[in-house]
Amino acid sequence: GMPAFLDGLKYNQDGLVAVLVQHVDTGEILMQAFADRAALCETLQTRLATFYSRSRAGRWCKGETSGNTITVHGVYLDCDRDSIIYLSEPTGPSCHTGARTCWFTSAKLGAAAVESDGAHDSLARVPRTTLLALERTIAER
């Protein structure tokens, strides 16, 4: 049950686990945040992505302010039991900047420079894992 799942987690010294939010259809990683036991419990009960905000020092249900809620379709625990994936369906942009994903800045490999592609929604720069997931989704339909 839920208490056993929550008890089995390896929380860090602040009582938190890392949570990755992954799009249920495309496989794209949308955002990363932290959750404490209470936030995870609320997510499991309400199916709305809920976190622990370190800056606000308390509970944060994504979209309460912006309206960009995230519906959770599945919760997965990694093999080390210290991080979680919320398999999710967002109602709008997941990033506070208004971008679809928080991952829109890429490092130039082999050089010290870091560059931003500037176009948050450019499919040309979407990570290959996302395109493979999309191809699988299309193939299944």
Question: Tell me: the pLDDT tens digits for 21-32?
Answer: 999 999 999 999
What strands, in cross-sheet order, belong to the sheet with 29-35?
Answer: 29-35, 17-23, 83-90, 70-77
pLDDT over 90 at 53, yes or no: yes
Q: Which of 10, 65, 4, 67 lies closest to 35, judged by CA?
A: 10
At residue 85 the predicted structure's pLDDT band, cuts being 50, 70 and 90, is: very high
Share of residues in the chain with pLDDT > 70 (%): 80
CATH number of 2-140: 3.10.20.810
pTM across the whole model: 0.78
